[in-house]
Amino acid sequence: MGSIFGLMPSSLSSPPTRTDFGYKCKIWMACELERKFLGGRYYTWFARDLNPVGDASRPPNGESSNPILLYLALDTAVKRRDVNHSKIKDLRARLLRTISRYIPDRNLAETLRREIRKAPLDMFHPQLRRLDLTKIAASRIKIDKSTPGWDEQYVSDLADGEFDVIAE
């Protein structure tokens, strides 16, 4: 007996594999900082699964390394105007450390730090990105700082054209 679609189950193809893509959640302000002041290269942690909840062969990622959960938390915090959300505070602190570490011009660094401290929540709006791993040399993908067993890796020099914004 055929399926309701008129096809026998054996005639269906397999779902696509996830090896060609990676997924990342990043806030708008961090993207702009990297684009305008850090040479247009993006330091990007990513997972090969949009929602890496694990399976029988692999443990689940923590919430800090799950792109869809990060997007949901940040999107909700921004929409609810939750300036005290722990993720917003954490990202603000990380941006300030990035400025201190990578912007050598003291005047520019101080201006950027002031802007980050006063930044409205809209600047923390998340973007969900899909990385095209076929455009990224395998040697650029690192796992040395990853949590063992988790679906997380990073690229320190992601460029425009190697990813698409799939949700804003």
Instruction: Please list the pLDDT of the chain residue by residue as tens digits (168 residues).
Output: 555 555 555 566 666 566 799 999 999 999 999 999 999 889 999 999 999 988 777 778 888 899 999 999 999 999 999 999 999 999 999 999 999 999 999 999 999 999 999 999 999 999 999 999 999 999 999 999 999 889 999 999 999 999 999 998
Query: Distance between CA 3 and CA 150 in Å, rounded?
Result: 38
Can you read off the two tokens belonging to residue 136? Answer: 């990224």
Residues in the chain: 168
Answer whether 128's CB lies under 8 Å from 163's CB.
Answer: no
Q: Angle at Cα 43 formed by Cα 141 and Cα 103, nearest 5°?
A: 140
Query: Distance between CA 63 and CA 131 in Å, rounded?
Result: 20
For the entire predicted model, the pTM comes to: 0.85
